[in-house]
Amino acid sequence: MSVSDSRESAVSNEEHLAGIDIFGTTHPGKKRTANEDQFFIASLHKSMRVRQSSLEDLSAFARLHASFAYLLVVADGVGGIGGGRQASSTAVETLAEHIGETIGCYYNFDVDKEHEFLAQLEDAVQRSHDQVRHQYAADGRGPATTLTMVALMWPRAYVVHVGDSRAYYLRDGRLRQLTRDQTAYEELVDQGVMTEEEAGRAGLKNMLTSALGAQFTPAIGLIDLQAGDVLLLCTDGLTKHVPDSDITAILGGGGSAEEACRRLVDLTLERGASDNVTVIVGRFAAS
């Protein structure tokens, strides 16, 4: 496993395998004294290169060359300077360790194994939740964290989501949100109990209904990406200040994943950056 990880500065993934360019960064913002966000980017490799053989046809081994997967994670801790930061760190470390030990079994897997792979992702999130609860508060009233994860086995991306950090993808100039915020705002508006305006005035957008370390219900989805797509994972420190229209313009503006990350963070800072902000951008080169 090769890992790109940082707290308050960006570290790029330099491999650019199969035209994939991924970069992540995190910033404490202008109002917070500490950064409770975490991000994690890892590439996992499994390959076999045939050096010599008496076999006439080696095409069957081509699929084993440079087989790879990516793991992308953002997390936003809840619970104060000490607790929130430690909760997000514990969750991400536990998740990455478990997936690093198990995901190798699924390189080049068939569709009939997909349910088994998704079960492993769910199990990794459950272990992260259990570890946060065990370490900080068994009654569920201690520190907690959001978590949004993408396990990418090109071209399929598996998304596991808890809380209000988000995943998006840009295709043909249109930005689509892959996750749905698990907040009281979304639930009450969906149920028709309150209008969007009423729920907004009540301050419910920041009230989580699901988080690791507390009551949680992971949402799971998948999407087949295409050449030319752009993937974004972010904490709500970005979306509090930068609307979808500006995100679309930056992601669609060309340049590297690193450049897009820096423009997103810079725009957030220009607009006040009232919270920690973390972004991961993945660009998938057009064929």
Single-letter amino acid, residue 57: D
Q: Are 103 and 153 in contact (CB under 8 A)?
A: no
Per-residue confidence at 113, pLDDT binned at 50, 70, 90?
Answer: confident
Q: How large is the greatest C-alpha to C-alpha distance in the chain, in angstroms? A: 73
pLDDT in tens, 88-105: 999 999 999 888 777 655
Q: Cα separation of 186 and 192, whole Å?
A: 10
Which phi-psi region, left, alpha or beta, contains residue 59 (left: φ > 0; alpha: ψ -120 to 50)? alpha
Q: Are 165 and 234 in contact (CB under 8 A)?
A: yes
pLDDT computed for residue 105 by the predictor: 56
Angle at 252 between CA 147 and CA 73, to 5 degrees: 15
In this prediction the pTM is: 0.86
Question: 121 Cβ partners below 8 Å, 6+ apart?
Answer: 99, 149, 151, 158, 160, 220
Residue 85 has, within 13 A of its CA and on its CB side, a CA count of 13
pLDDT computed for residue 1 by the predictor: 38
Q: Are 242 and 260 in contact (CB under 8 A)?
A: no
Run of H or E residues at 160: strand 156-162
Run of H or E residues at 151: strand 147-153
| CA quadruple 260, 8, 177, 239: dihedral, nearest 10 | -90
Residue count of the chain: 287
pLDDT in tens, 242-278: 999 999 999 999 899 999 999 999 999 999 999 999 9
pLDDT computed for residue 170 by the predictor: 98
pLDDT at 8 over 60: no
Q: Are 135 and 154 in contact (CB under 8 A)?
A: no
Structurally, at CATH architecture level, domain 2-45+67-180+210-284 sits in 4-Layer Sandwich (3.60)
- Domain boundaries defined on the chain: 2-45+67-180+210-284
- Angle at which helix 257-270 crosses helix 244-251, to 10 degrees, equals 150
Backbone phi and psi for residue 160, each to the nearest 5 degrees, phi listed first: -125, 130
